[in-house]
Amino acid sequence: MTEDDRKFMTRAIELSEQTALIDSAGGVFGCVIVQDGKILAEGRNRVVAENDPTWHGEIEAIRNACKKEGNFKLRDATLYTSAEPCPMCAAAAYWAGIKNIYFASTNADALKYGDFDDSMIFSELKKPATERSIPSQQIMQAEAVEVWKKYKNKADRVPY
């Protein structure tokens, strides 16, 4: 761990304390995204304040960083988060092209001290869609694929 790592993680932990203990806006989750040795964006959990189950610190930080960069990819960025990312936040980091992730507390810590339990989601995602606890059924594949075919041939589409 470098001094910069310590500095950036300290900020992520400060954000987690602010949002959870002072603002009472959500869980103990704060995040910073760093590029070229500087904080590009910050995020805090605001699930409770916004009544939005997707308003996690990592998601907010990724949104803010992408907006600031004018790009949906953050290929040279490092994400520092006060807690191990949940499945949604981990997926968002992959989609954003984050280069490195550093986390402080673990999912086990979040369960032990805050009753945050993502284990069911992790195990559900390993199952085929038809075997998950939220019933999932495929319908209208042919109609949806027609749009995909048009998208594949769209001359000005932006590659992911």
Catalytic residues: 58
Q: In what order do the strands lie in the sheet with 30-35?
A: 38-44, 30-35, 78-83, 100-105
At 52 the three-state DSSP class reads coil
> Would you list the DSSP string of 39-84?
EEEEEE--HHHHT-TT--HHHHHHHHHHHHHTSS--TT-EEEEEEP
Angstrom CA distances, 106 to 116, 132, 156, stand at: 11, 25, 42
The Cα 113–Cα 56 span in angstroms is 18
Strands 30-35, 38-44: pairing kind: antiparallel
